[in-house]
Structures are given as structure tokens and as C-alpha cells.
Amino acid sequence: MLLTRRNRRHDIGLLALRLGTGGVLVAHGTQKLFGWFGGHGLQGTAGAMEQMGFRPGRHSALAAGLGEAGGGALLALGLATPAAGAAAAGAMAGAVSVHAPAGFFATSGGYEYPAFLGHVAAGLGLTGPGRYSLDHATGHRLDRPWMVAVAFGASAVAAAMVVSRRAKAAATASDGAGGGPDAG
């Protein structure tokens, strides 16, 4: 009986984490995709992504919005949990790269908040959704152990490529703006 209570608490805790984190990610993603909740929508986000060095901006905005909104919705539902956690964590890696120059704390524009969202999403993707989830209801068809490795491996490679391309674009832009080694 004690084990059952602990399991129930564990599953309720995972549900609470999934709903809270997933809800926040959905809100952020729909800001980018549709302009909801005071966001700029796909076109405005695409322009901002271009300015931040993510090219092409529209593809980057779409990928970020889908990673956040899609990954968040799937996390909240507890469906395809490894892929959902990996997608959201990958999207947050891009956000962390933007905020990193400002340091850690969000109060100074740092990466604290996107890092936390990515960390929780990754933790949920690795841990699994618990009993109160669509993955559990479907017999974990989309939550197999091998899917964890594939989803997180693919997300890590994609995030590394996106962040690397952004860094190269930023370096090229600063060289072209007179900040290169031959300036002056």
C-alpha cells in the first residue's frame, strides 16, 4: 500500500511538471508562430531571428516555434515524451545561445529561464511521463527506450549545428561591420 501511494505521488508530480512546463512552452511557441500572448507571430519572429544571426529567419522561427509549442503540447499530454522533451530542450539550446552573452540571471537578460525550461523538458523526456499520460494509455508505443537515444541524439546534433551556424553568422557580421582583424 505504501508503494502504491508513492507511485501515485510520483505520477501526480510528473503530471504537474508536464502540465506546467508544457503550458509555458506552448505559450512561448505560439507567440512565435501566431503572435498570441503579445508575441510577434511568424513574420516578426523571422525578422528578429535574422537579426540574431539565425538564417534563414523564417525557417528558424518556424523550427523554434514548433519545438516550443509542439514539444510543450506533447509534454503536457505525455505523448511521445522522449521526442517532446528532446525537441523542447533543443529549441531552448538556441535561446540559451542568444542570452548567454548577458550572463546567467534573467534579471540581466541572461539565459537562466530558457536553460531552466530546457533542463526540465529534457528531464521529463528522459524520465518518462508517468501513469497519467497518453503514452501510458497507448502502451508506450511512442515512448520506447531506444527512442530516448535517437530523439536526444538528433536534437543535440541539430542544436549544435544551429548554434554553430549562428555563431559563424555573427562572426561574419562583426567582421563586415569593421570589427575584423584588418579594421582600423
pLDDT in the model for residue 4: 80
**82-118 tens-digit pLDDT:** 999 999 999 999 999 999 999 999 999 999 999 999 9
pLDDT in the model for residue 181: 38
First-to-final CA distance of the chain: 76
CA distances from 22 to 49, 117, 122, 136, 183 (A): 23, 9, 12, 17, 47
Q: With the C-alpha atoms ordered 121, 133, 19, 40, is the resulting torsion angle positive or negative? A: positive
Query: Which pLDDT band, with edges at 50, 70 and 90, does 24 fall under?
Result: very high
From the list 40, 20, 34, the residue with the least C-alpha distance to 123 is 20
**56-87 tens-digit pLDDT:** 999 999 999 999 999 999 999 999 999 999 99
Residue 174 confidence (pLDDT) above 80: no
pLDDT in the model for residue 180: 38
CA distance 55 to 50: 6
Per-chain mean pLDDT for the chain? 92
Query: Which pLDDT band, with edges at 50, 70 and 90, does 6 fall under?
Result: confident
